[in-house]
Amino acid sequence: MTQMTSKLHIVILAAGIGKRMKSSLPKVLHELAGRPMLSHVLESARALQPYRICVVIGHGGEQIIERFSTSDLIWVKQEPQLGTGHALLQALPELDEEGSTLVLYGDVPLVRPETLSRLVQTDLEEKCAILTTELENPYGYGRIIRDKDTQAITCIVEQKDANEVQRTVNEINTGIMHIPNRKLHAWLPILKNDNAQNEYYLTDLIKMAVDENIPIVSAQPHHNWEILGVNSRAQMADLERIYQKENASRLLEDGVTLYDPSRIDIRGRLECGSDVEIDVNCLFEGHVKLGNGVKIKANCILRSTTISDGTIIHPFSHIENSEIGKNCRIGPYSRIRPNTSLNDNVHIGNFVEVKQSAIADGSKINHLSYIGDTVVGKNVNVGAGTITCNYDGAHKHRTIIEDNVFIGSDTQLVAPVKISQGTTIGAGSTITKDTPENELTLSRARQVTLTGWKRPSKHK
Active site residue ranges: 367
Tell me 142's DSSP state. P
In Å, how far from its chain's centre is CA 95?
31
Q: Compute the distance between CA of residue 318 and CA of residue 350 in angstroms, rounded to an integer.
A: 12
Work out whether the CA dihedral 330, 336, 338, 343 comes out positive or negative: negative
Q: Compute the distance between CA of residue 302 and CA of residue 285 in angstroms, rounded to an integer.
A: 6
AA identity, residue 283: L
In contact, 57 and 15? CB cutoff 8 Å:
yes
Q: Is 345 helix (H, G, I), strand (E, B) or coil?
A: coil
AA identity, residue 407: I
Q: Is 269 helix (H, G, I), strand (E, B) or coil?
A: strand
Q: Compute the distance between CA of residue 142 and CA of residue 160 in angstroms, rounded to an integer.
A: 9
Work out whether the CA dihedral 174, 180, 183, 188 comes out positive or negative: positive
Q: Compute the distance between CA of residue 251 and CA of residue 36 in angstroms, rounded to an integer.
A: 23
Q: Compute the distance between CA of residue 269 and CA of residue 291 in angstroms, rounded to an integer.
A: 14
Tell me 188's DSSP state. G
AA identity, residue 278: I
CA 150, 152, 157, 163: dihedral to nearest 10 degrees? 0
Work out whether the CA dihedral 230, 233, 239, 243 comes out positive or negative: positive
Burial class (CB within 10 angstroms; exposed 0-12, middle 13-18, buried 19+) of 57: buried
Q: Shortest CA distance to 382 belongs to which of 425, 325, 335, 340?
A: 425
Q: Compute the distance between CA of residue 42 and CA of residue 217 in angstroms, rounded to an integer.
A: 25
Q: Compute the distance between CA of residue 24 and CA of residue 329 in angstroms, rounded to an integer.
A: 44
In Å, how far from its chain's centre is CA 138?
30
Supply the DSSP string of 381-448, one letter for each residue: EE-TT-EEE-B-SS-B--EEE-TT-EE-SS-EEESSEEE-TT-EE-TT-EE-SPBPTT-EE---PPP-
